[in-house]
Structure formats: structure tokens, C-alpha cells
Amino acid sequence: GEAASADLLTGGRIELGIARGAYSYEYERLRPGMDAWEAGKRMREITPLLRQLWAGDCAHDGEFFQFPATTSAPKPVQPDGPPIWIAARDPNSHEFGVHNGFNIQVTPLWMGMEEITTLMGRFNDACTSYDGPRPKIMLLHHTYVGADEADVAVAAKELSRFYCYFGAWFQNKRSVSQGLIAPLSEDEMNANAMMSPENMARDLTIGTADQVIDQIKAYEDLGYDEYSFWIDSGMSFDRKRASLARFIDDVMPAFQ
């Protein structure tokens, strides 16, 4: 009902992105005892019901959810409801999304072109085993368009710090106070070779405008339909805004 209301308010421009969630810290607060596996099962049970609820009079008796005949109020503007994007990583997630007629969004992290290629392969495999129309696939990637090489080097250090904290949250081993994780020391971050600035510069979509254009064209050549600029990075507002402005002014025209 909330999604349908948003669809009405925007004149049919809402799209839903759905994922199981990433951190144990989140699960523990929403449903104590739930882990990532159960979260994925819950998502796979409820998400295919959304279109049925928008159509109306959908009853369900599943493992996690049970309800009598139920109808979304209001109804959405878009036929069949807003487009749905499923965050997918493993082959089963790609197959679930594609076989249900959902678009797929992938998020390669810090393993560069190898992972980007692997994720496209999993999507293609899921499409091959599906008789319906081919959905879209979107690549979400940390992006920074630098003013020059020195600016790009600063961004690589900032993104290294972001991923060191990302890994710490994911491992769920550090204390949290007031919603903030215990700070990492410079020595701890410097010791994390996997998240080094050098690896960030090599494996993320960061560089000057011309370099970023070349990277995204390589993704396009692999078959990606859409590119999503991941801006959450721990950088200052001004640095994020400047990077995004360069992306809009200098990168996007190469894809029109």
C-alpha cells in the first residue's frame, strides 16, 4: 500500500529495490535470532506476493507469512505495480529474481572487473534457464570522478577507510555505542591489505572523467543495462557533490 501510494504521488515513477539486508547487527534488532539465511528465505517468500497484492484478493499460507485474501489500498498507477529490482550475488539469487520476472541489481565490492564479469555471467545463466522476457541488470558501484590524479588518490584513501569499516560492521565483532561502531585505529586500517587504497584505485570506478568513461563503457560492453552511482563513502558533502557534478557534466554525455 505504501509503495502504491508513492506510485500515485509520483505519477508512476516508483521502482522498488529489495534485498535481504547485510548486517547481523540489523537482524538482531528486527527479529532476534534471525540470520542472513532466514532473511533471504523471508524475502523470497514475500516478494513474489507484491504483484498479487497490488492486483488484489491475494491470500497466502506460507512458512513465514500467513494472511487471508488481502488487497493493496490504494492500487498503483503502473500496470502490475512498480518495477521490482532484486539485489543478487549468488547464482540462486539471480535465478530467483530472473525467474520471477524481476530486474537484477548487483553490487561488486572490492574485487574489480573479475567480480563484475562473474556477476554478469550468473545473470546470463539465469536468463538462459528462463522462458520469459529478459529483465534488466543494474551495476551499483562506488564511483568517484576526480578533478585530477591527486584528487583521485585522496578518494582512494577515503574509500579504503569506508571499506575497512564496512568489513568491521559485517563481522559483527566490535562494540557499538549510540549506533556507532567502536573506531578503528590507523594501524588496524593500514594492516587491512585487502582494503588498501591501491586496491580501491584498481577495483572501484574511480578516476578522472575520461578514465571513468572507459570503465563504464567496459561494463556496458559486458551487457549491463543501467549504472548506479554509489556515493555513500564517508567523504565530505562538498567532495561528494563535486564528484557527482563532474559525473553529470563530463561522464554522462558519453552515454547519451
Q: Beta strands 180-181 and 84-87: pairing type? A: unpaired
Cβ neighbours, 10 Å, residue 119:
23
Question: Tens digit of pLDDT for each residue in 88-125?
Answer: 998 999 999 999 999 999 998 877 899 999 999 999 99
Over residues 225-244, mean pLDDT: 96
Tell whether the model's pLDDT for residue 25 goes beyond 90: no
pLDDT of residue 218: 97
Q: Examine the pLDDT at 255 and tell me if it is beyond 90.
A: yes
Higher pLDDT, 33 or 69: 69
Summarised one tens digit per residue, pLDDT across range 171-208 is 888 888 998 889 999 999 999 998 999 999 999 999 99
Q: Are 197 and 157 in contact (CB under 8 A)?
A: yes
**Cell 520471477 sits on residue:** 100
- Exposure string of 238-247, with b = 16+ CB inside 10 Å and e = fewer, is ebeebbbebb
Amino acid at position 7, single letter: D
pLDDT digits (tens, 9 = 90+) for 127-152: 999 999 999 999 999 999 999 999 99
Name the grid cell of 112: 574489480
Question: Residues 230, 228, 137, 44: is their CA dihedral positive or negative?
Answer: positive
User: What is the identity of the amino acid at 93?
Assistant: S
pLDDT, position 21: 84
Cell digits for 178?
A: 549510540
> Which residue is listed with cell 500467513?
66
Q: In angstroms, rounded to a whole number, what is the distance separating the alpha carbons of residues 75 and 50?
A: 11
pLDDT given for residue 213 in this prediction: 98
Q: Taking residues 236-244, what's their average pLDDT?
A: 97
Q: Which residues are CB-neighbours of 103 under 8 A, at least 6 positions away? A: 83, 84, 85, 86, 97, 135, 136, 137, 138
Quick one: pLDDT at residue 242? 98
For the CA atoms of the chain, what is the radius of gyration?
20
Nearest to 2 by CA among 76, 58, 70, 69: 76
Least confident of 106-110, 199-203, 213-217, 221-225: 106-110
Is the pLDDT at 228 greater than 80, yes or no?
A: yes
Per-residue pLDDT at 109: 81
Quick one: residue 8, left, alpha or beta (phi over 0 = left, psi -120 to 50 = alpha)? alpha
40/139 Cα distance (integer angstroms): 21
User: Mind listing the pLDDT tens digit for each residue in 38-79?
Assistant: 999 999 999 999 999 999 999 999 999 999 999 999 999 999
C-alpha cell at 194: 585487502
Place of cell 567480480: 115
Half-sphere exposure of 90 (CA within 13 A, CB side): 4
Q: What is the pTM of this model?
A: 0.90
Phi, psi of 104 (to 5 degrees): -120, 135
- Grid cell, residue 4, equals 502504491
**Amino acid letter at 18?**
I
Point out the least confidently predicted range of 58-62, 181-185, 218-222, 251-255: 181-185
